[in-house]
Amino acid sequence: MRLGIFGDSFATATTKVDTVGSPWPLTLAEKINMVGEYFASPGTSIWWSYQNFLKTVDKFDVVVFTYSQHNRWHHLSEEAEGMHYLTVRNDYTSVPEPTKERNNIANILYSAHRYLQSEELDLFIFQNVFNHVNALCKEKNIKLINVLPFESGEMLIDYSNRVGSVIYNLNKVSVIEQSQLTPDQAEKFWKMISTDDKRPCHMSWYHNDLLATIITENISNEDNKLIDIMQDARISSDPKYNKHFYEN
């Protein structure tokens, strides 16, 4: 039995901190006792994940597809790999693997976006990728979980064609994780996440484990629920879960 995970930094299986937990993709593979393969990379787009999904989907019994922010550059050349996020969000994220050439590309991408972006096109791609991922998993009898970190409940697209549960609002977990910090802790926390977010998948170890648990609970759920993670009673604002990320 094999597990495939697709997405951006909200689904990466690596960590920058050696400490007490694992990113949720690794924890999930352990919880459901499957061999995991991970096709997720920071700064990438929905289309980038979709291309990897199409190449590999036949290998998997369970798929977790994590949808990036829909306004990112959909497709970039190899030279610009990982810079799909350079649209309107250039203020706090550094260019991955910076070189003079990549920094020049980054400036071009950021400067050109306002002339080329179309919300209608972005939503069209988002909707059709969502529909096809769900349709293919149904056709191939693959268990599917859709994860939408940037969807906060406004329902940007129509999710009625889902064949697996939709878990959304992960982006708001950071707000909860900061809510009980002292001013000094909050300053350190913000500096950490705005320069080099050390949290795996942008969440504490506690919330990584919680997401893996929620996915496990819903893999075989025939109800195909819409799940706002922020409404889960197990979400925690306890500062202890993030202290090791910004104190070291």
DSSP string, 128-190: HHHHHHHHHHHHTT-EEEEEETT--SS--S--TT-SS-EEE-GGGHHHHHHTT--HHHHHHHH
The pLDDT of residue 248 is 64
CA pair distance 117, 8, nearest whole angstrom: 20
Instruction: List the single range of 17-26, 65-74, 85-94, 232-241 with lowest mean pLDDT.
Output: 85-94
The pLDDT of residue 174 is 87
Residue 94 pLDDT greater than 70, yes or no = no
Residue 134 pLDDT greater than 50, yes or no = yes
Residues in the chain: 248
Instruction: Tell me the backbone φ, ψ of residue 31, rounded to 5 degrees.
Output: -65, -35
Residue 62 pLDDT greater than 90, yes or no = yes
Mean pLDDT score, 166-190:
92
User: Using 50, 70 and 90 to split pLDDT, how confident is the model at 91?
Assistant: very low
CATH classification of 2-71+117-172+201-237, choosing from 3.30.300.130, 3.40.50.2300, 2.40.50.140, 1.10.3720.10? Answer: 3.40.50.2300
Mean pLDDT score, 76-91:
81
Mean pLDDT for the chain? 91
The pLDDT of residue 92 is 40
pLDDT in tens, 141-154: 999 999 999 999 99
Residue 98 or residue 248, greater confidence: 98
Q: Which residues, 6 or more positions from 85, have their beta carbon under 8 angstroms from its beta carbon? A: 43, 44, 68, 69, 72, 73, 93
